[in-house]
Amino acid sequence: MKPIPENLKVSHFLTFYLMVSMQVGVGILGFQRIIARIAGYDSWISVIIAGVSSNIIMWFMYKLMENSNGDLIDVHRDLFGKWLGSLVSIVFGFYFIALLITILKTYIEIVQVWMFPDFSTFWFGAAFLLLCIYIIYGGFRTVTGIAFFAFVLPLYITIIFGLALQFADFFHFLPILDHSFSKILSASQSMSLSYSGYEIFVFFYPFIKNPEKSKKWTHFGLIFTMILYLYTVFVSFSFYTEEQLSKDIWATLTTFKIVHLPVAERFEYIGIANWCLIILPNVCLALWCATRIFKRTIKLNQRIGVILISVLALIIMIFFKTRGQIDNLNTIVGGVSFLLDYFYIPLLTVILLLVNKLKRGKKMQ
């Protein structure tokens, strides 16, 4: 690929905000029910396992990028050839389209259930995607700036969420390891959608200044996400009984209901409104990545591609209406994310390292 001009790149430390903003989205609002059904109160261990494993996968991603000539698209072309490599990359493009649909549709469902039952999926989706198009037209640096503000501005919500600790009962966590290790591992796998999104790293890697210096910031971002999910789990698990957790679809939002401020009786409304800013970089990064993949594989102009994919996503979202349909969409996208992160990326890294080693051996002969 052509070298990315320096004026289009972002500083290495900003990978911290890109990682956090991509992993923290709608998943953190209701992942407690999913993992509690599998491993009960022991599922806090699953959060740690999923967080540590994401750092291991990130190590593979760095190895993959350091031994390539660009991004994942170049890796596919080097290993599989131009046509087959482009086809594999296009699969990733459709994955990111599915991811942005999942994020945006899930958020719209939350607004419809908690605030406005007659809220229009089409009109809000159109307005939101129009904002995303405007941001992406500013380039990757603008998208990164949105990721930074989406991290800083809503940070106060985590502090207010902790007010539930005044009603905490930490005896809920006892006895520890009351569930089998297989169930704990299964619960960590079910968190794949909540932790998903960081695979975008293998596409924006060429846009990082001094990428070798970004390693610690990228891993710090993944660790911060793990700590944030762990904090959310401890607050929720100490506040709810296991039976309540298994039935509450959005435990994080329900916890906001205990907060009563002199100026706001229903704090969950403020939380939901603020979450619009949190999911903004989620959708922008997924949309940017999908359009960049199609630009480099089928030569689709990125400015045109952003509009076409946004329209496609908007049309598809309209067909998801019931809770069951949306839940199935989340499950499928989460499963695909798990396969890509924990099987495909490590396998591709091993193959690339072996191929490069064989090439070096031939040159020495």
Q: What is the pLDDT of residues 20-43, one digit of tens each?
A: 988 888 888 888 888 888 888 888
- Structural domain includes residue 338: yes
Rg of the Cα atoms in the chain:
21
Percent of the chain with pLDDT over 70: 98
What pLDDT, on a 0 to 100 scale, did the predictor assign at position 343?
93
- Structural domain includes residue 29: yes
Q: Quote the tokens at residue 323.
A: 């809770």
- Structural domain includes residue 1: no
Q: What is the pLDDT of residues 2-15, one digit of tens each?
A: 778 888 899 999 99
CB 256 within 8 A of CB 267: yes
pLDDT at residue 298 greater than cutoff 80: yes
What pLDDT, on a 0 to 100 scale, did the predictor assign at position 1?
66
Q: How far from the centroid of its chain's Cα atoms is residue 252's Cα?
A: 17
Q: Quote the tokens at residue 313.
A: 């996503």
- Structural domain includes residue 290: yes
Q: What is the pLDDT of residues 125-181, one digit of tens each?
A: 999 999 999 999 999 999 999 999 999 888 888 888 877 788 878 887 788 888 888
pLDDT at residue 265 greater than cutoff 80: no
Domain count of the chain?
1
- Structural domain includes residue 20: yes
What pLDDT, on a 0 to 100 scale, did the predictor assign at position 142?
94
Give the orientation angle of helix 43-66 with respect to helix 181-190, to 10 degrees: 60
pLDDT at residue 220 greater than cutoff 70: yes
CATH number, domain of 233, equals 1.20.1740.10
- The domain in which residue 251 lies consists of 6-364
Q: Quote the tokens at residue 136.
A: 């992406």
pLDDT mean over 302-313? 94
- Structural domain includes residue 253: yes
- Structural domain includes residue 186: yes
